[in-house]
Structure 1
Amino acid sequence: MAKKSVKVVVEGGNVKPGPPLAPTLSQLGLNVGEVVKKINEATAQFKGMSVPVTLDVDTDTKKYDISVGVPTTTSLLLKKAGAESPSGDPEHKKVGNLNIQDVVEIALSKKPSLTAKSLKAAVKSILGTAKSIGLTVDGKDPIAVVKEVEEGKYNDILNPGEKKWEEN
């Protein structure tokens, strides 16, 4: 029983049956149209976001499993902020604004793929990404919000979330 894993990052609900995915699926003897349809169904809830997908294929039986990961931090931030794409000039051109609660929710959803030891550390990491793509948080530069997190300004929001962080 030979197993093969194919890892791709796709646009949720909008995978096309073309390169680079189609040639790989064809080499494995899979029906490209059928697999693309199933990936689109599995990623529909992440429409418009970049989503990691893993296809585990049994090359003998041609059976496969689709595993959908959590969208990229950038995709989650842009969706929450209602922005189309990252700023080409994040220092001078802002593309959207979120509130601190949005940042905490994203940090909690990204926990499996983050190396942060605490929710506070994860939130600071997410704030760094927000800055790099041209977002503000509560109308402020994300780096100013990082300082406020360090000073304890958001402990009322972070402390209940910290329990969720430790449970998962």
Structure 2
Amino acid sequence: MPTKTIKIMVEGGSAKPGPPLGPTLSQLGLNVQEVVKKINDVTAQFKGMSVPVTIEIDSSTKKYDIKVGVPTTTSLLLKAINAQEPSGDPAHKKIGNLDLEQIADIAIKKKPQLSAKTLTAAIKSLLGTARSIGITVEGKDPKDVIKEIDQGKYNDLLTNYEQKWNEAEG
């Protein structure tokens, strides 16, 4: 059973049959419109976010399986503040603010894709991304929040989220 795997990034619910997806699916003998519709159906919950999609195709039977990954960290952070795009000048133009709880929730969602071994490390990674796209956390520069985490200011909150982190796949 020869299989072909296609990995693409699509905007949730808005995949298009044009290049590069359409021609690739067409070459494999698949109904492009049908596959695109299924991709849009399974990614609809991520509307407005970039989502990784993997399509595994059995070349002999033309059957396929669509797997949806977790959206990018930037997409999840932007959605959390209802923003469309990152700040063009994150050092001076802030586009929103998140609570550390929201960052922890996103870290747990992203656990399978993160290389972080601990919740604290994952949160620090997300704080770095938040800073780079112009998002403040707890009303402060995420760099300052990282210092406060290191000083133990958020230990209670982190302890509360540790169980969720440990139960998450990844």
Structures share fold, TM-score greater than 0.5: yes
What is the SS of the residue equivalent to 1:110?
A: helix
Question: What CA distance in whole angstroms lies between the structure 2 residues aligned with 1:147 and 1:102?
Answer: 18
Provide, for residues 96-145 of structure 1, a one-character-per-residue CA deviation record: whole Å limited to 9, x for no partner: 11111110000000000001110000000000000001111111101001
What's the counterpart of residue 6 of structure 1?
6
- Aligned partner of 1:79 in structure 2 is 79
Q: Give a deviation string over 1:7-40, Cα, whole Å, max 9, x none.
A: 0010000111111110111111110000000000
Report matched runs for 1:39-58 at 5 Å: 39-58=39-58
Shift of 1:51: 0.3
Q: Where do 5+ consecutive residues of structure 1 fail to align?
A: none
Deviation of 1:167 after TM superposition, in Å, equals: 2.9
Deviation at 1:155, TM superposition (A): 1.3
Distance 2:53 2:24 in 1: 14
Superposed CA RMSD in Å reads: 0.8
Amino acid at match of 1:157: L
Distance 2:70 2:162 in 1: 20
- Tell me the residue number matched to 1:106: 106
1:30 is matched with 30
- What corresponds to 2:128 in structure 1? 128
Q: Please give the secondary structure, in 1, of the residue aligned with 2:9.
A: strand
Deviations 1:28-72 (A, max 9, x none): 111000000000000011000000000000011000000000000
Identity of aligned residues (%): 67
Q: Which residue of 2 aligns with 1:70?
A: 70
**Residue 122 of structure 1 aligns to which amino acid in structure 2?**
A
C-alpha distance in structure 2 between counterparts of 1:94 and 1:24, whole Å: 40
**1:145 alignment partner in structure 2:** 145
TM-score (normalised: structure 1): 0.97
CA distance in 2, matches of 1:132, 1:145: 14
Aligned-pair CA distance for 1:164: 2.2
**2:145 & 2:63 partners in 1: Cα distance?**
48
TM-score computed with the length of structure 2 as normaliser: 0.96
Aligned twin of 2:158: 158
> What secondary structure, in the 3-state scheme, does the structure 2 residue paired with 1:4 have?
strand
Q: Distance in 2 between matches of 1:157 and 1:38?
A: 39
